[in-house]
Amino acid sequence: MMNWTAGSHPVFEQRWLSGKRLFMLMLSITIALVCFVPSPSAFAATVYVTDNGSTVVVDTGAGLVYTINKSNGDMTSAKLNGTELIGSKPSHIGSGLGSATVTWGKSPSGSTVNITVATSTLTHYYASRGGENIIYMATYVTAEPSVGELRYIFRGKSSVLTNVPTASKTLNNTGAVESSDVFGFSNGYTASKYYGNSQAKDLSIAGVTGNGVGVFMAYGNRESSSGGPFFRDIQFQSGGDTEVYNYMNSGHAQTEAYRMGLHGPYALVFTTGTTPSVPDFSWMSGLNLQGWVSSRGNVVLNGLSGMQSGYTYTIGFANSTAQYWSTASSTGAAGTYGLKPGTYTMTVYKGELGVYSENVTVNAGSTTTLNTRTINNDPSTTSTIWRIGNWDGTPLELLNGQTIAVRHPSDSRNPSWGPVTYAVGSATNKFPAVQFRGQNTPTVVTFSLNATQAAAAHTLKIGITTAYNNGRPSVTINGHTLSNPSASSQPDSRSVTIGTYRGNNTTFSWSIPASYFVNGSNTLSISPISGSSDLGTYLSAGWAYDCVELGN
């Protein structure tokens, strides 16, 4: 661990040299350069800190100067090469802490600074190294913030940071189309901070830019976040300020309990507009951050048997304190590294559908090796008369399935949701990705059975990825009403209207007697039911489909 020089009183860094000292310094550098050209890591640049009692100002010496309010930990200014990037509101963890204890210290070499912002349940860190335009961060929590959302928000100046992903750029809208956070435009398009966001497994580095400036979030370690590899949350918004987010825990389509402990490290990286590489966080192990775990283990899976071609398989690990994932090779081999010690539920996902699971124990300083596992819970292996869609945990192959993550269902670019009458054997993308009670109900499926098929009982399955307002399917076959199922367990929030179809995969199943079928043309009708009233056309009881099938 590093020993730090504490900032307990105002410090004013002396950044000038006398003429004689400057001459001798330049002479030494010139002589050195004649002999060799050092690598960038051969020396550590100085980071400069000014504490005036009410603020801490950090100058990395490379163009970035930022200011932290000592009363609450807000970032009130961030200038790159003299250009102010902070907008009308400060940047902060959560929605701002209100008040906090702010302390700081520098390493003995003067090359690094660590600012600690502490409350009784949360400690947030800002750290920088001399010569880098990067603010490294981490957040330790023992309780979720009172707003229910653990996030860092960089609130940038919209007149400077003008290039924002289109799906989340809400400037010049004509008003909200849903709640106060999904907006429409005169051409019928929609945009929201909920749209165009990456899944957790794909979070790397992304940002906003302007003329000669860029602010990028390096999302870093997701181990203490919640939601798993396919979870999405807010990354950008441009309605007033230009906002860049790192969501760590939130109530948006929440599928599992929040995780406490150290979230991160993550970072804000400032550039002249180019997308930077993900910074190296390893140096932060010397900062003595609360909750930092250095001793870790690995899991290596040698392979999977029973994979289907055309799908990506993800290997996920989860327990109450951490989550991890890796992508399997074409043979199912995968290595997942740097896990905290403990016992995890390992889930193999085909697409986004769990098809195998077991408990795996990870020990510090060692690798747990698993021999080839056989997938044993893939519903695609069941023989069917017909199947609509794929058992992959997503509605992506269905009508408007590809647009859920990037626009509101009412967006004028979307083909009509229906109601749809779908003939089995038609193109899969003619079947609706989402069933809304208020918009496209019922969905009717027509199919043919021969005499042998019609004389037998069959099993109907409807798989969903999420549901809203306790929506579940009410089904009739040739006028015969099947028993109504109970509601599935799903997140208590909006879902498909805020850019996600991810909830708790659920399959509803019915055993249908032969007497309900006929030789020749048959008709199946699907409608949502719920004991709760709807809030609107799209905020109505319903679900996102995964797959519908009639078994042999």
pLDDT at 455: 98
- 379-551 maps to CATH 2.60.120.260: yes
- The whole-model pTM stands at 0.91
CATH architecture of 297-374: Sandwich (2.60)
pLDDT score of 270 more than 80: yes
CB atoms near residue 103 (< 10 Å): 15
The residues, any chain, with a CB within 8 Å of residue 367's CB and separated by 6 or more, are 297, 298, 299, 300
165 closest CA partner among 110, 207, 222, 119: 207
pLDDT at 147: 75
pLDDT tier for residue 479 given thresholds of 50, 70 and 90: very high
Tens digit of each residue's pLDDT (9 = 90 or more) over 488-520: 999 999 999 999 999 999 999 999 999 999 999
pLDDT higher at 40 or 324: 324
Let me know if 462 is exposed, middle or buried by CB neighbors in 10 A (0-12, 13-18, 19+): buried
pLDDT score of 402 more than 80: yes
- The top-level CATH class assigned to 5-287 is mainly beta
Place of tokens 């896990």: 339
Q: For the chain, how are helix, strand and coil distributed in percent, rounded to 5?
A: 10, 40, 50
Q: What is the mean pLDDT of the chain?
A: 93
Its sign, for the CA torsion 142, 103, 6, 79, is positive
DSSP 326: E
As a whole number of angstroms, the distance between CA 466 and CA 459 comes to: 22
Tens digit of each residue's pLDDT (9 = 90 or more) over 404-453: 999 999 999 999 999 999 999 999 999 999 999 999 999 999 999 999 99
User: Which phi and psi (to 5°) does residue 537 adopt?
Assistant: -60, -45
How many CA atoms does the CB half-sphere of 206 hold within 13 Å?
A: 18
Question: What does the domain layout of the chain look like in residue ranges?
Answer: 5-287, 297-374, 379-551
pLDDT tier for residue 23 given thresholds of 50, 70 and 90: very low
pLDDT at 31: 34
User: What average pLDDT does this structure show over 194-203?
Assistant: 98
Hey, do 5-287 and 379-551 end up sharing a CATH topology, with the first three levels equal?
A: no
pLDDT score of 19 more than 80: no
Tens digit of each residue's pLDDT (9 = 90 or more) over 61-110: 999 999 999 999 999 999 999 999 999 999 999 999 999 999 999 999 99
Its sign, for the CA torsion 264, 268, 274, 277, is negative
Per the structure block, which two tokens stand in for 228? Answer: 């798993």
Tens digit of each residue's pLDDT (9 = 90 or more) over 309-337: 999 999 999 999 999 999 999 999 999 99
pLDDT tier for residue 239 given thresholds of 50, 70 and 90: confident
